[in-house]
A and B are shown apart, each in its own frame.
Chain A
């Protein structure tokens, strides 16, 4: 749960991280429809596109990522404003982070189910927290930092969890949705005699149109003009060509609706740009609208940057809760064993694994999922050789600070002047602040640790 919460907290900014990973791509907000069309059709004919890919994408520029991108199921390319192909899209570390949050890098179908099950069990933890906390109102703002470590941790845990309960419940329920929606539709279809699985799915997600002979150039510009009339206030997100390697292909445009939590309303067109209809996510059945709102509620991608910051804070609190819950359990035990060290090393080793994997992936483009997990395991086991939890925390905070400084230095060397543009600084400055924070905590922890040990030794003698 700690890994899911921590990665989810960082993944709130996955769009910004994706932009940071490739800082040299050309950026712009407005584009010429006919240039997009010409360029996209040229892209389809080039070797930069995988012909066996079932889907092709145009990702349109927006304020978070002001770049135009063409992609297939495997790779993508940014497009310059004049329509020429630009830099290759690089988002491997972003995918590592999203994969950690979505499925813990387990095989996709099982991983989603596993993570979603943790979301459901998280609901149980919320209930148990409330029911085992009889003085919930009496302690509403209490935080006894002068008391023992256990009481301190308990107060942090309870204050963060009680006040954050609406958010936590929202995240748990929406998180459960992803892994189980397919399973629910399968089980439900088995229980209805006159409907098969596909028919049940078509009720929730509209069936694909039946088209034939969809050959020739993709008339993107005509479709874009039509969309402007259909949804003048909508924010165009991206377009998918479904069944791209067949003659049944068609275009689907995802358009975000202002003031709504639904992910998008989807508009479908044939290859010639003839409008086929919309999916009805914005005005269809209320259950369909709620189901399609899950993504934005879960990731905080609505109402701009402020929401992301609030979600980051609330997500960080959830991460602290997941750690402090185990800390309380450890402190309540009447004994200490290697689990105490292992837990502390795992918690503080994960940021090291994340930052080192970012170095190897972003700077050196080495596949880093194994490096990440290797470091998580390595740091956890190395903790067993440490004297106590405080020393583990201090050492690992210092190592995290060092690895973040190395990451930023490597990024600056690799990308030169581009490391100082907006797309880079949006992530680099927060990383610098994190590095400074960990360095400060690591260094001050050393002093406190020494004093604490001396004081404790004096008490013993």
Chain B
């Protein structure tokens, strides 16, 4: 019974969000949608425990939203059209386009070094240095740092790639490495 109720509440929250989006654009309905989503977390947690229940509530939001999106397309589309219109015709393709120059490859390689390995080292050191400043147990320090580090690395990589001024990006990443190392090892 509880399982069906939580499924229905999860579905209801997505349907309300969809109705708000599709027809009325009403903030009132969308607020209700998010409210029912919050309620669904509570009900899932009641049935399956707080840990598993929260994961279920989040996952069903995703699945139901995809189902609603798919069902909407069935109403207003002919699937074959897109398949045909996307068909490329007998192309004699070059090995690698002339648009990719050596300079582009070098620039991308430099960007890769900065956004992946260097940003990775910087984020590991930064996350460990940041937690070391707080009065936490060793387990908590390692636990928190390892869970925030991929977020920092991801954010830093994105920023580096979005930044057009490469020297500024290099300076910032190098500074993070130096300051964090000083906090950790000196």
Give chain A's interface residues, CB within 8 Å of chain B.
Answer: 117, 119-128, 131, 137, 140-143, 145-149, 152, 159-160, 163-164, 166-167, 170, 172-173, 176-177, 180-181, 183-185, 187-188, 190-192, 195, 200, 203-204, 259-261, 285-288, 290-291, 293, 297, 302-303, 307, 310-311, 313-314, 317, 333-341, 387-390, 445, 448-449, 451-453, 455-457, 460
Contact = CB atoms under 8 A, between A and B. Distances in A.
A315 B97 CA distance: 33
Given A120-B153, A167-B58, A191-B128, A317 B87 contact: no
Contacts, number: 244
A337 B96 CA distance: 5
A152 B82 contact: yes
A159 B66 contact: yes
A340 B87 CA distance: 13
A129 to B, nearest CB: 9
A420 B12 CA distance: 41
Interface residues of B, number: 76
Contacts of A172: 150, 154
A290 B143 contact: yes
A448 B80 CA distance: 8
Contacts of B96: 337-339
A452 B84 contact: yes
Contact of A285 (B90, B115, B137): B137
B149 A176 contact: yes
B138 interface: yes
B93 A126 contact: no
28 contacts: A120-B150, A121-B157, A123-B153, A124-B153, A124-B155, A124-B157, A124-B161, A131-B158, A142-B69, A143-B72, A145-B77, A145-B81, A146-B77, A147-B82, A148-B85, A163-B66, A166-B61, A166-B62, A187-B125, A188-B128, A287-B143, A287-B144, A290-B143, A311-B59, A333-B97, A388-B88, A388-B89, A452-B86
B58 A187 contact: no
B88 A125 contact: no
A170 B17 CA distance: 23
Contacts of A445: 83
Interface string B110-126: 00000110001001110
Interface stretch (B45-53, B101-109, B166-174): B45-53
A452 B132 CA distance: 62
B104 to A, nearest CB: 12
Nearest to A259: B49
B179 to A, nearest CB: 14
Contacts of B21: 137, 140-141
A431 to B, nearest CB: 23
Interface in B24-52: 48-49, 51-52
Contact of B155 (A127, A142, A176): A127
B120 A204 contact: no
A302 to B, nearest CB: 6
Residue among B69, B88, B128 with the highest chain A CB neighbour number at 10 A: B88
Interface string B134-167: 0001111111111101110111111001100000
A442 to B, nearest CB: 13
Given A261-B52, A451-B84, A452-B83, A291 B143 contact: yes
A164 B55 CA distance: 12
A453 B125 CA distance: 55
Contacts of A184: 124, 128, 142, 145-146, 149
B139 A181 contact: no
Given A152-B86, A287-B144, A388-B87, A124 B154 contact: yes
The 8 tightest CB contacts between A and B, nearest first, are A123-B154, A287-B143, A452-B87, A124-B154, A149-B86, A120-B150, A259-B49, A163-B65
Nearest to A303: B52
A336 B51 contact: no
A78 B185 CA distance: 51
A126 B151 CA distance: 10
B155 A163 contact: no
B64 to A, nearest CB: 9
Contacts of B4: none
A120 B151 CA distance: 7
A250 B60 CA distance: 43
Contacts of B55: 170, 261, 297, 302
